[in-house]
Structure 1
Amino acid sequence: MSISQVRASSFGEQEVNRERFVVMASPYRHGHNLVIVEQIPGQKQCWSETGTSPTVVEPLFLNFDFTNACKRHSDSNNYSIRFNGQDYGMDYLTDIVEQDGELHLIGVPRDNTKPQIHLGRTHGLSSGSLKITLDPKWRLTKRIYGGNTTDHVYLSSNSELSEQSVSRVVQPANNYSRQQ
């Protein structure tokens, strides 16, 4: 059994209430990092949103101890890409690149012979954190392991990889934004 087959059989996924999450491009050094924030129901508000095209996200959780109010998913230990029922966390990293007046969330393969995947965009540029709207075939789910739902978030699609790939026209703006 290959490693990919083991991963596919080990992890399941469960749908989430999308209203409890925000996917955002957060400024970091000379670029942006992907941050996914989850609101715990009945707790202090974790973020606010203003505007459209782009939507600016105010990360309110930075102003208080968010331990029991918000879950912050800020690296590949906390989220990964999953498509067509298979976890590709070991095969694809996320990157945020600026192109054509907006930021794009891209899945970048560790193997350069594989295609890049376009996951979402900000619909404009502004200072601060920007909301990323996932492409129509993409959604958020949670990882299931051993029958239990974990805190790990998937950027999920039920489509085949070939339907998701993009040309290599979208290039990383720098090495700071690439999620390791």
Structure 2
Amino acid sequence: LVSRKEITERAACIEKWTAIADICRCLQNYNGVLQICAALENSSIHRLKQTWQCVAKQSKQTVEKLLNLVTTNARFKNMREALHRCDPPCIPYLGMYLTDLSFIEEGTPNVTEHGLINFCKMRMLAHVLMEVRRYHQAPYAIEQRQEVIDYLLDPTRLLTDDQTYEASLAIEPRRSFDQKPATEITD
């Protein structure tokens, strides 16, 4: 996105990735939704105010809906509800489950106060692992396209965070406080 010089191309790119994220939602690929939303919320993209002004209202509304789905509020409450309503195939966001496992591991002793194995903790761990496993039982019936795989895995397209931010500043420089917006009319 930051390699596009024209503002309309950048807006179209945001709209395209928003549509892809919504398709991921329809396919119950919650990891994909979260990754695309995280990219759109990255400071290098989020700061592009002029570009976002050119993004269609419907796409902006879709982004808000998707961000609401993957919000970390209340321990991923919205995503958990969506996951519990869906039938496999599904790709959950594993970070949510890793957080659960960490809380259980850190917050619950392995041994009870009587020196016995804490089976309650083991049940909690097993419950989390069984839930993750449940979503991986059914495969997707999607044809793989090698050119898409090659595009997505092409290491030459990757930029560091610093390179991305520099490119972002190059296409939409910071405005100093004494500058007026380009849309403002002066006397």
Report if TM-score (shorter chain) is over 0.5: no
Q: Higher RCO, 1 or 2 (CA under 8 Å, sep at least 6)?
A: 1
Which protein is bigger by CA-based radius of gyration?
2
More helix by percentage? 2
More strand by percentage? 1
